[in-house]
């Protein structure tokens, strides 16, 4: 009985330690001090493609600074960030389907079923495009667990 209690106590301590560590870890990939390399996440949904944001129109969300090209886009993001933020923390959607965290190029993107996905390179973008639905399903199995095992 004592062995079982020690074992369960150790498991509980490990779980709580992982949870505490996870809370400190930013979920969204950033470069140059901003999510998505400073690109405006809302701009991908406006029909014009990605537009670089400006620091004066910024907001902190999920431990990362997000830049926007206008106060209007910033306000739209703040009203529903999950509608505009890229899937899988802004990490490469194709790599996530392989269980890996890889940086992205914010100019390589696709909106699928109203969700923004970023990829790493033109070659990866082409591979990802060959079976987006399949890769999204695989990536969803790894996300967000992969963050805590890197």
Q: pTM higher than 0.85, yes or no?
A: no
Whether residues 106 and 91 share a domain: the answer is yes
* Cα–Cα dist 92/108, whole Å: 10
73 in a domain, yes or no?
yes
* Cα–Cα dist 36/18, whole Å: 26
Whether residues 43 and 100 share a domain: the answer is no
Domain with 137, as residue range(s), is 86-150
64 in a domain, yes or no?
yes
Separation in Å, CA 138 to CA 82, 94, 117, 119, 135: 20, 9, 14, 15, 5
pLDDT per residue of the chain (150 residues) written in tens, 0 to 9: 544 444 434 434 443 334 444 444 457 877 778 999 999 999 999 987 899 999 999 999 999 999 999 999 999 999 999 999 999 999 999 999 999 999 999 999 999 999 999 999 999 999 999 999 999 999 999 999 998 886
Number of domains in the chain: 2
């Amino acid at each position: 009985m004592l062995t079982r209690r020690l074992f369960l106590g150790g498991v509980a301590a490990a779980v709580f330690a992982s949870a505490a560590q996870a809370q400190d870890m930013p979920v969204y990939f950033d470069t140059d001090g901003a999510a998505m390399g400073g690109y405006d996440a809302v701009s991908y949904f406006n029909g014009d493609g990605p537009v670089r944001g400006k620091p004066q129109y910024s907001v902190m969300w999920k431990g990362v600074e997000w830049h926007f090209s206008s106060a209007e886009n910033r306000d739209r993001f703040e009203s529903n960030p999950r509608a505009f933020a890229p899937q899988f923390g802004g990490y490469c959607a194709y790599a996530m389907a392989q269980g890996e965290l890889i940086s992205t190029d914010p100019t390589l993107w696709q909106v699928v079923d109203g969700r923004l996905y970023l990829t790493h390179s033109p070659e990866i973008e082409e591979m990802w495009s060959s079976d987006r639905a399949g890769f999204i399903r695989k990536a969803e199995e790894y996300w967000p667990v992969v963050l805590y095992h890197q």
